[in-house]
Amino acid sequence: MKNFSLFLLSLLLVSSVFGQIDHWETAVHAGGIWKYRLGTSEPSANWNTVAFNDAAWLSGRGSIGYGDGDDNTTISRTPSLYMRQKFTVTNKTKIVGMVLHADFDDGFVAYLNGVEIARSNLAGSPPAYNANATTAREAVMYQGGDALSFVLNDKALQQLLVDGENVLAVQTHNFGGTSSSDMTTLYWLSFGISDASQDYSPTPLWFTSLNFETPLPIVKINTWGEYIPDEPAVVGEMGIIWNGDGNLNYRLGYPHEFLGNIDIERRGQTSLSIFPKNGFAIETKDANGQDLDVKFLNFPEEEDWVLHGPYSDKSLIRNVLAMELGKRMGQYSSRTRLVELFINEEYEGVYVLMEKIKRDKNRVDIANLKPEDIAGDELTGGYVFKIDKDAPDWYSRYNTANSGRKLEFQYVSPKRTVIQPAQELYIQAYVDSFERALRLSSGMFGGKHYDQYMDVASFADHFILTELTKNVDGYRLSTYLYKDKDSNGGLLKAGPIWDYNLAFGNADYCNAETDWGWIYDAHCGNGNPFWWQRLFREELFINTVRCRWEELRAGAFSRDSLHAFIDDKAALLATPATRNFQRWPILGTRIWPNPVVPTTYQGEINYLKSFITDRLDWMDNNMLGVCTTGLKEEVTQHIQFEVYPNPADNQLFIEVDLPQSSKVRLAIYDMLGREIWTKTFHLPTGKQVMEVDLTSISRDAIHHASTGIFYVKITQNGVLLGTKKVMRMLD
């Protein structure tokens, strides 16, 4: 029963009112006088209610235990201990928050007026008097640790409390029965009071430090003391405290944004082995342990999540920034949320909650390749695979650039455990044909040119983002690719981007810390795929990159826009970053592979902004290729027409005033002068409006969520009326 909810009253959830709390007071102190009995037999069924007569029970000051240095009352060894402490509520309407703090050895369940309000490391409803705790747990407060917090929402506490006499009852169980060498029983019950009245006792000295406020969502994960390994995943519970953007969140708030079961394991490669702050992979589950799609923090519904723990990246936002840049380019990139994380009530610092890359309508939106799809168009997509460190599923016939190693690929969707032999043969053969076409001087293989295998626009975007950030792992690690069905376009696409914590000047090898030079051509590690060196000799590719670069620099990648995004995140992190670096005191200390070591958080932010400024300037001055469309804005006939709105969002309108009925042809061209859309209208005399749905045009032609520059050419009865340049707005 390890995944038993710590918040059994979740059915009573309402909006948190912790913002209405004037101050906190403590009604039950761990060091107060408790009535208790040893767990040598079952107590009366109503032992945890106010009505129970506890006159025959013993009395003692807490903590009650084996007298091993942290106890005020010594007892003989027992499999369990039953405790009660009564308290008086003066006016329950003034109580708008309640929290139970617990430090115990080894498991417990707590009741308020006979109703369970919290438990940890203990199964059974109720647990038998001789039941063992689920796992061993050592008390932590005497070692400088924090008590666990169990929060009730305001509606629940109003249902349970009564004006007058109430009782907190707790049963504490050992893991080893009477053979256990210690027992700790420390429990506090505190109230959030809505006015300045003083009806209870002051809170313990440590209470204030536990009840901080933050603009970031608070993620609390509980595995009931069980260590989280690399694999396999362990069962846990996740709660998210969030009161909406622009509002503060409180550590002692109720997790009304989300509360549910999860499986969790550590994740990462180099970071997992050398950094103490690790990342985690999470799957949300239902009550039966089955995968469950959920929504929280404005993420679309899904089940697979990642908690990235920035450590060597002391700006804390390099991955957040990279994903934002991907979004601005109109490519899918993992949505992110900066959060503050607790695991088993231990503060772990600032993390980035991210979407795991997978095929999904809200992530990599391609066809769902099912096991039965082994022929025809169904076989051709969708596939997601990557270049990374893990054991390869297949090898390229070619070595990586500047190395003697074969390029290695790994399946992502479908996974290696479910992909069918026919599907393996297909995607391997397709990638091989693409590579052979790119490798040959003619650029042809199997009767097709290399750009008939690959989506040039997505590779251009991937190149720009990897080079702008100078991601030292770019191209050769954490590099994803995907392919949809042929009927959906079917070209090989680069992306989504992933793992940019060693980007933006945060590595001291392979010239990654310099603002000059191309990272695709660096002689680094196991080498980059040869594709990029080959593509950078292709006029089509470098001209596409040049046009795309100019387009992005005109808006989405302007220096001021990027700096503003960084400043906004830094302001949001001002206080959370202080807590993070108290937990991980590494400011001013070199953490591999930092090339510079600012001594303050603002210094880290300044370095990040400086790197981006210098890198933008270098790429502006050294970008190859030319961007000439052969088009320009012009009006060639004396017929009035307007194109609006400009910049455009999803709809574009073209208004013309025709002296006679006409056949009007609209054509849209990209920055390379390629016609990407056309339609002919038969219009009557007078003012007429033609509408273009930009979302119906290929996302590869006009980047759906980006500031895309394109041209609209208008022809009447075969005669050019004129050409207008239009900008595509950011979403």
Q: What is the pLDDT of residues 504-538, one digit of tens each?
A: 999 999 999 999 999 998 878 778 999 999 999 99
* Contact (Cβ atoms closer than 8 angstroms) between residue 659 and residue 579: no
Residues 224 and 193 in one domain: no
* Contact (Cβ atoms closer than 8 angstroms) between residue 677 and residue 697: yes
Pairing label, strands 64-65, 73-74? parallel
Long-range contacts of 700-704 (CB under 8 A, 24+ apart): 700/455, 700/457, 700/458, 700/489, 701/457, 701/668, 701/670, 701/674, 701/676, 701/677, 702/668, 702/670, 702/676, 702/728, 703/329, 703/330, 703/331, 703/457, 703/728, 704/330, 704/731
Radius of gyration, CA atoms only, the chain: 31
Torsion region of 123: left, alpha or beta (phi above 0 gives left; psi -120 to 50 gives alpha): beta
Q: What is the pLDDT of residue 630?
A: 66
Q: Which two three-digit tokens encode residue 255?
A: 């997790």
Residues 180 and 240 in one domain: no
Strands (E), 90-147: 95-105, 107-112, 115-120
Count Cβ atoms below 10 Å from residue 31 Cβ, excluding itself: 12
Average pLDDT value for residue range 172-201:
92
**Domain-embedded: residue 629:** no
* Contact (Cβ atoms closer than 8 angstroms) between residue 473 and residue 366: no
- For the cut 70, the answer to whether the pLDDT of residue 30 exceeds it is yes
**Domain-embedded: residue 33:** yes
Q: What is the pLDDT of residue 705?
A: 32
**Residues paired with 98 in a beta bridge:** 152, 191
* Contact (Cβ atoms closer than 8 angstroms) between residue 362 and residue 242: no
**Residue bearing tokens 């990642």:** 306
Residue 639 pLDDT level (bands cut at 50, 70, 90)? confident
Residues 96 and 181 in one domain: yes
Torsion of CA 48, 53, 57, 59, to 10 degrees: 90
Q: What is the pLDDT of residues 447-456, one digit of tens each?
A: 999 999 999 9
Alpha carbon separation from 214 to 21, 359, 577, 725 (Å, rounded): 16, 34, 11, 45
Residues 144 and 20 in one domain: yes
Alpha carbon separation from 358 to 269, 481, 496, 614 (Å, rounded): 19, 11, 10, 34
Average pLDDT value for residue range 180-202:
93
The percentage of residues in the chain with a pLDDT greater than 70, rounded to a whole number, is 95
Residues 308 and 407 in one domain: no
Q: Which two three-digit tokens encode residue 610?
A: 């400086």
- For the cut 90, the answer to whether the pLDDT of residue 178 exceeds it is no
**Domain-embedded: residue 17:** yes
- Percent helix, strand, coil in the chain (nearest 5)? 20, 30, 45
- For the cut 60, the answer to whether the pLDDT of residue 7 exceeds it is no
**CB within 8 Å of 312: residues ≥ 6 apart:** 271, 275, 501, 502, 506, 591, 592, 593, 594
The percentage of residues in the chain with a pLDDT greater than 90, rounded to a whole number, is 75
Residues 226 and 186 in one domain: no
- For the cut 60, the answer to whether the pLDDT of residue 550 exceeds it is yes
Domain boundary among 534, 557, 580: 557
Average pLDDT value for residue range 634-657:
86
**Domain-embedded: residue 598:** no
Q: Which amino acid is at 46?
A: N
Torsion region of 504: left, alpha or beta (phi above 0 gives left; psi -120 to 50 gives alpha): left
Task: Say which residue, 153 or 124, is predicted with more confidence.
Answer: 124
Q: Which two three-digit tokens encode residue 324?
A: 């934002």
Q: What is the pLDDT of residue 587?
A: 98
Q: What is the pLDDT of residues 91-107, one digit of tens each?
A: 999 999 899 999 999 99
Residues 39 and 161 in one domain: yes
Strands (E), 490-562: 492-494
Q: What is the pLDDT of residues 386-428, one digit of tens each?
A: 999 989 999 999 999 878 899 999 999 999 999 999 999 999 9
Residue 729 pLDDT level (bands cut at 50, 70, 90)? low
Eight-class DSSP state of 131: P
Residues 138 and 191 in one domain: yes
Q: 242 by DSSP, 3-state: which?
A: coil
CATH for 720: 2.60.40.1930
Q: What is the pLDDT of residues 306-334, one digit of tens each?
A: 999 999 999 999 999 999 999 999 999 99
Q: What is the pLDDT of residue 1?
A: 34
Q: What is the pLDDT of residue 269?
A: 79
Q: What is the pLDDT of residue 209?
A: 76
Residue 180 pLDDT level (bands cut at 50, 70, 90)? confident
Q: Which of 215-219, 403-407, 609-613 has the lowest mean pLDDT?
A: 403-407
Angle between helices 539-553 and 456-469 (to 10 degrees): 60
**Domain-embedded: residue 581:** no
Could you list the residue range(s) of the whole structural domain that residue 395 is in? 376-557
Q: What is the pLDDT of residue 701?
A: 53
Q: What is the pLDDT of residue 75?
A: 95
**CB within 8 Å of 329: residues ≥ 6 apart:** 461, 464, 465, 552, 556, 703, 705, 706
* Peptide bond just before 371 cis, omega within 30 deg: no
Domain boundary among 321, 355, 389: 355
Residue 703 pLDDT level (bands cut at 50, 70, 90)? very low
Average pLDDT value for residue range 286-313:
97
**Residue bearing tokens 């260590």:** 227
Can you list the alpha helix ranges (DSSP code H) found in 623-710?
none
Domain boundary among 207, 241, 266: 207
Mean pLDDT, rounded, of the chain: 91
Q: Which of 183, 185, 224, 188 is nearest to 206 (CA)?
A: 188
Count Cβ atoms below 10 Å from residue 675 Cβ, excluding itself: 12
Give the rounded distance of the alpha carbon of 440 from its chain centre.
41
**Domain-embedded: residue 178:** yes
Q: How far apart are the first and last CA of the chain?
A: 46
CATH for 115: 2.60.120.260
> pTM for the full model?
0.82
Q: What is the pLDDT of residue 629?
A: 65
Q: Which two three-digit tokens encode residue 351?
A: 């993390």
Q: Which of 133-137, 325-329, 580-584 has the lowest mean pLDDT?
A: 133-137
Q: 179 by DSSP, 3-state: which?
A: helix
User: What order of strands is seen across the sheet that includes strand 651-658?
Assistant: 641-644, 651-658, 686-693
**Domain-embedded: residue 126:** yes
Q: What is the pLDDT of residues 218-269, one digit of tens each?
A: 999 989 778 999 999 999 999 999 999 999 998 888 898 999 999 999 998 7
Alpha carbon separation from 310 to 8, 84, 352, 500, 597 (Å, rounded): 34, 44, 8, 10, 15
Residues 391 and 505 in one domain: yes
Domain count along the chain: 4
Q: What is the pLDDT of residue 698?
A: 60
Residues 644 and 513 in one domain: no
Average pLDDT value for residue range 487-499:
96
Average pLDDT value for residue range 192-213:
91
Task: Say which residue, 156 or 391, is predicted with more confidence.
Answer: 391
Count Cβ atoms below 10 Å from residue 238 Cβ, excluding itself: 22
**Residues paired with 668 in a beta bridge:** 677, 712
Average pLDDT value for residue range 152-157:
78
Q: 140 by DSSP, 3-state: which?
A: coil
Residues 324 and 429 in one domain: no
Residues 258 and 195 in one domain: no
Q: Which of 208, 99, 207 is nearest to 156 (CA)?
A: 99
Average pLDDT value for residue range 490-497:
97
Q: What is the pLDDT of residue 16?
A: 39
**Domain-embedded: residue 597:** no
